[in-house]
Amino acid sequence: MLLLEDLLRRQYGKHGIYAGSSHFHDYWCRDSMFASFGALSLGDYEQVRLTVDNFLNNLRKDGHVAMRIGTKNQILRYLGLPTGHGIFHRQDKGNNDTVDGNSLLLIIAEKYEKLSGKTLDRAKIREVIHWLDTHDKNGLLYEGKYASWEDSLKHTGPRLATNVCHYRALLATAELLDNPVYLKRAEHTKSEIQKWWNGEYFSDGENSSCMSGGNLLAILWGIASKEQSLQILKYIANRKTIAPPAGFWKPRGKDVFLPFFLINLSDYHGMMEWSWLAGAEIAAYRVIGDEAEADRREAAILAQIKGDDTLYEVYKDDMPVQRLIYKSEKDFAWALGILVASKASLFHVLE
């Protein structure tokens, strides 16, 4: 079996870290940035530098970080047909900017500088910060349809995962600019997110369901208290599968991009099990000090990887999704990066 580190390094490209090995073989910002946690934990600083610089060198004039650098038409790419390449800022399913890319780039930029001792282009970093500053409304970021990591959902407004990333980015910005004002702003964002706590988990803005990604990141990045973390992990553990689902809910027609119903993919950000969430859950148990449970869950996902000789993007009942139209991506760098970083306890120093 290939080691996690080897699987991750297979996605290292000339200009950064690819999201996967087949239909996601592009530089996707959120995938590349989360994968960079693993590269940082391995000391592969030059690869992280390539990744960050690739997006910094392709900023939009207003400082927005691209969603994807690569394939022009994702459908043609998935079908194996030729298509052009470019830089894309707006979500493929709609006409809205992605919102979390700026935050994730700043988080990785701060970690890269701290661990490597090298400095990134400050003028471009300030452009990225400026975009976030001008889109912050009372401590929160608002988004349009399909603009979050759960990019099959129509949900709009302030979303949980996006704003947990925003909180962590504000802490990173305080370090990057040596400006304590951003620490105060981060605390305000944290207090706004705390308003979504319902006693068991953080709701997802106006969506009252438990969405796993934002809740697990809230543990990793210090928004959730120890007591809240235990409650979240207890809730998410109430399942039979190795990886957590994207959410503990069944999306309705009004929630999901309509074509996803036509290709039997409406559960993509519902009850499909995501490998990156398995890594985040393991990391969360390590953050709260439950090493035994983290080791147990890590052994389960490693056995799954051994059986498949890869790590897939999404699973259903512990099997990689293989439907008539959609097949789960192999060598999913986002998840590999988090798993590698969890092994190295990199998330322990994020608070």
Q: Kindly report, residue by residue over 44-90, the tens digit of the pLDDT.
A: 999 999 999 999 999 999 999 999 999 766 565 555 655 667 999 99
The whole domain housing 269 covers: 4-349
Q: Residue 101 — very low, low, confident or very high, per pLDDT cuts 50/70/90?
A: very high
Average pLDDT score over residue span 246-267: 90
Domain count, the chain: 1
How high is the mean pLDDT of the chain? 93
- pLDDT, residue 324, reads 86
Read off the CATH number of the domain in which 13 is found: 1.50.10.10
The span from the CA of 295 to the CA of 343, in Å, is 9
Cβ–Cβ < 8 Å for 139, 192: yes
**C-alpha–C-alpha distance, residues 71 and 57, integer Å:** 18
Greater confidence (24 vs 193) lies with 193
Look up the pTM and report it.
0.95
Query: Looking at residues 205-232, what average pLDDT do you find?
Result: 96
Q: Which residues contact 197 (CB under 8 A, 6 or more apart)?
A: 228
Chain-centre distance for alpha carbon 192: 21
What is the pLDDT at residue 85?
79
Q: What confidence tens digit (pLDDT) does each residue in 125-138 have?
A: 999 999 999 999 99
pLDDT, one tens digit per residue, over 273-284 is: 999 999 999 999
CA distance 47 to 73: 26
Radius of gyration of the chain (CA): 18
Mean pLDDT of 18-32: 94
Of the candidates 273, 270, 218, 208, the residue with the CA atom closest to the CA atom of residue 240: 273
β-pairing, 12-13 with 273-274?
Answer: unpaired
CA distance 348 to 331: 25
Q: Please report the pLDDT score of residue 263 as a whole number.
A: 84
